[in-house]
Structure 1
């Protein structure tokens, strides 16, 4: 039996010609005639008496077939260093000895000392094999039953399309920031490939990337946010040897918030000339919004919804999923408590994902009149439909009472805006426009932030500082007046 100090030795596979017994360490060929070891014969080994098993059985660590004495000595010291990490704690000693014994039996490298040290420091059973990133992400997502459906679908998409293909095979405790950065570098390489193929004169090359989309910087940030959320839970898990959230250290270029740009006359002229939209987020001027709503009056089943979005800044899902039961026209208020979320083509009704999203908005007189007129029209349609009416309880419905699909509403918005001859914005641009209109009208930013469902006023101010041209012009003239020695303008206090 090996001693607790351990030993190294050299042996071979030769056998005694007379008895057939293995000579082992007694073979005369293991040493040269001068007494030194013969490097051409035999192999080195080490052995060490391990702490007893949990049942008290004796055991030893032994590894043979090593090429040099140095390898045998290093292996022995490695085992002793691992056992020493237990600091004579009998439970931890058994765990480490089990881990060493398993590695030797399976002819795998011995566990790294620092890796085991980390597990011991975190009071984690050192025998536990940490999961791969793919396994952990699946377990993490499954363990979040209360996620909003839209958020779950977003997380699942990031995991399936990016995180698992690029990082899934790595052990979660081995994941490093450089791995995540390499993933984003590969995504960007794919972006460049798609753009180059789109510019090719070869139809087959163009066709090879049809349907593939370029991944924006904001999407990369959301992918990283998904990984960061999953690793935050891994760090909190006492049975996982993860102490650092590497996603927080993975570098990405900053992604400034996309502030809306207003379709000024100069921008409209330039767009008509070259077809280039000057910004990713565009909003109409008040005059353009009025032109859209005037044209939208021809579409009675959609006008009231578009008017409400333009006036109060509802999100598409909030407007499509709004029930009459949450609309109090006598009080002039609407409670935003539900939204319709689109997942691929399927839709799911859920609550807004943030507490700020659940809010009450106050209606102006014009909007109340529009909604009352629409409700009368809807009631007439219900009476005409009779038993064919689908009683969904929704505020905005099609001719049979069924609700609108969110994508259909967006499609109709684009059709109507084109028919009105207006420069392009998205349906969400109506929401941006409502926010900018309210701020330009002098509404307190706190009121605007609450009605839009923003978590902070800072977000509202930072996003909607692109005021309308006439407001900006008035501010510029007021500043110039001071330079000319004019009176200091006094801002009326906010009531």
Structure 2
């Protein structure tokens, strides 16, 4: 291992009165009469001979202006320790010397021994300074051209709104899980402030947070997932000095899946009394769904779409983007290959994100009949529109042939539900209800999962199996019947049917 020569010295800016020459380390004021250094005069510095450049030129690291001899020695020892990481390999020592020289030129502190050792261990050029979190995240998204537009918008939103404002200035290799947790603490503090302002009696205070939304726990988990994905890429990359994914170690409260709740008679009565909605995800009973569909017949231009969602559980974008070319009424099948995605108010057509989402659903006779009725009405609209008809090829269109905007469909759904006097659910709640009714009717969970486009049957069963209370009641009575020694089938036959 090479011996790296260096020294510590003290000097000042005094000059000779006669010649004007700088005295430097020869100034008599630097020492006291007893020979000790005078702490009130001059500055400390160090000088270290560095390995020659790759072109063979001599060089050194030299700095003055330090407050104490101890500080100068510590800095010099630190630089020597960095050079010793080269282990006698000339190329590595030259690279480390380049790094030291660069930090001196920029008047910044040299990286720690642990950091340089980590860079060497991961094969990263020690001379390359790690980017900030902001620089890395922007480059990471830009380097993913094949991202779905919706996914890209989600990533960019998380980066712009949360990750860069809170973590953007931190160097990527110095990001810690504690800093990420601090970001989420700040987001929660903002949530509390918004809530307090909204509850204020002062109109100006309430107005100060108008339009501001609280960040839910599920959104926090998605923000962390975005950062975790980006850092996973950094850990895999040999060009980045990162070997720990800090986002994976950042703690967040668990986010349990929001299971649907059915609007039972007791819940409906409570809602009618004080407007209480007992859960974030609500579904109607089969009877309530029938009431809605009967009322929706008055709105013939959307009745078929709502019927398809209520029976087959299509997602809103899948129903809005369904073309006639993928719908075979004679065979009773529809191929789900496209969907209309809404970002803010902008829309675009894409394919379902997962392989499970690209599927074929079987249409029952009632649904086929509803779609045939709508197709005849759509043909009448086409004849009436004449040259103004937009030949979109979609199953569900407005009277001019253009496809529906997903937001408009949701608005019509809520309007019709209110007119029918039904408790509130979202249009996606109609999909939840279709899944729950299929399982309650005894359909195999694997079949339901495939028709809904879920990735696993476990997700379908775990989410929907016990939505309707009558299903759970039937199971409970069947279990009790075994203890009584009676026939479960006879007990089941006397159970209350789904309402």
Alignment TM-score, normalising by the size of structure 1: 0.96
Partner of 2:287: 287
3-state SS, counterpart of residue 463 of structure 1: helix
Q: Is the 2:305–2:319 contact (alpha carbons within 8 Å) kept by the matching residues of 1? A: yes
Q: Contact between 1:173 and 1:241, CA under 8 Å: does it hold in 2? A: yes
Q: Is the 8 A contact 1:390 1:402 kept in 2?
A: yes
Is 1:374 the counterpart of 2:364 in the alignment? Answer: no
Counterpart contact for 2:260–2:467, Cα < 8 Å: no
Report SS of the residue matched to 2:34. Answer: coil
Residues 93, 326 of structure 1: alpha-carbon distance in 2 compared, 3 angstrom cutoff: same
- Tell me the distance in 2 between the aligned counterparts of 1:432 and 1:491: 28
Residue 176 of structure 2: aligned partner: 176
Q: Which residue of 2 aligns with 1:327?
A: 327
Question: C-alpha distance in 2, partners of 1:65/1:214?
Answer: 51
What are the Cα deviations for residues 321-340 of structure 1, in whole angstroms up to 9, with x where unaligned?
Answer: 11111111121111111100
1:417 to partner: Cα distance: 0.6
TM-aligned CA deviation for residue 433 of structure 1: 0.3
Partner residue, 1:114: 114
SS at match of 2:131: coil
Distance 1:84 1:376, change over 3 A: same
Query: 1:304: which partner in 2?
Result: 304
CA contact (8 A) 1:86 1:120 kept: no
Q: Distance in 2 between matches of 1:35 and 1:202?
A: 73
Secondary structure class of the residue paired with 1:227: helix
1:17-32 matches, within 5 Å, as: 17-32=17-32
Q: CA deviation at 1:124?
A: 0.7
- Give, in whole Å, the separation in 2 of the partners of 1:483 and 1:491: 12
Q: Which residue of 2 aligns with 1:83?
A: 83
Tell me what 2:496 maps to: none
Maintained 8 Å contact 1:259/1:466: no
Aligned match of 2:96:
96
Q: Secondary structure at the match of 1:375?
A: helix
Q: Is the 8 A contact 2:481 2:491 kept in 1?
A: no
CA distance in structure 1 between the partners assigned to 2:443 and 2:217 by the alignment: 33
Cα distance in 1 between the residues matched to 2:207 and 2:32: 72
- CA distance in 1 between counterparts of 2:473 and 2:395 reads 40
Deviations 1:416-459, CA, capped at 9 Å, x for gaps? 11111111100000000000011111111111111111111111
Q: What are the residue-to-residue correspondences of 1:429-440 with 2, within 5 Å?
A: 429-440=429-440
Contact 2:317 2:340 survives alignment (8 Å): yes
Q: CA deviation at 1:165?
A: 1.2
Contact 2:337 2:352 in 1 (8 A): yes
CA distance in 1 between counterparts of 2:179 and 2:144 reads: 25
Shift of 1:8: 1.6
Structure 1 segments unaligned to the other structure (5+ residues): none
**Local SS of the residue matching 1:215:** coil
Secondary structure of the 1:173 match is helix
Contact 1:81 1:113 in 2 (8 A): yes
Contact 2:137/2:159 (CA < 8 Å) preserved in 1?
yes
C-alpha contact (below 8 Å) 1:259/1:465 kept by paired residues: no
Large movers: runs of 4+ above 4 Å: 488-492
The answer to whether the 8 Å contact 1:14/1:27 transfers is yes
- The DSSP-based 3-state class of the residue aligned with 1:212 is coil
Q: Secondary structure at the match of 2:334?
A: strand
What residue number does 1:346 align with? Answer: 346
Which residue pairs with 1:60 in the alignment? 60
**Contact 2:307/2:367 (8 A) holds in 1:** yes
Q: Give the TM-score taking structure 2 as reference length.
A: 0.95
Aligned to 1:253: 253
Q: Does the aligned pair in 2 maintain the 1:4–1:50 contact within 8 Å?
A: yes
How far apart in 1 are the matches of 2:491 and 2:113?
Answer: 68
Partner of 2:60, secondary structure, is: strand
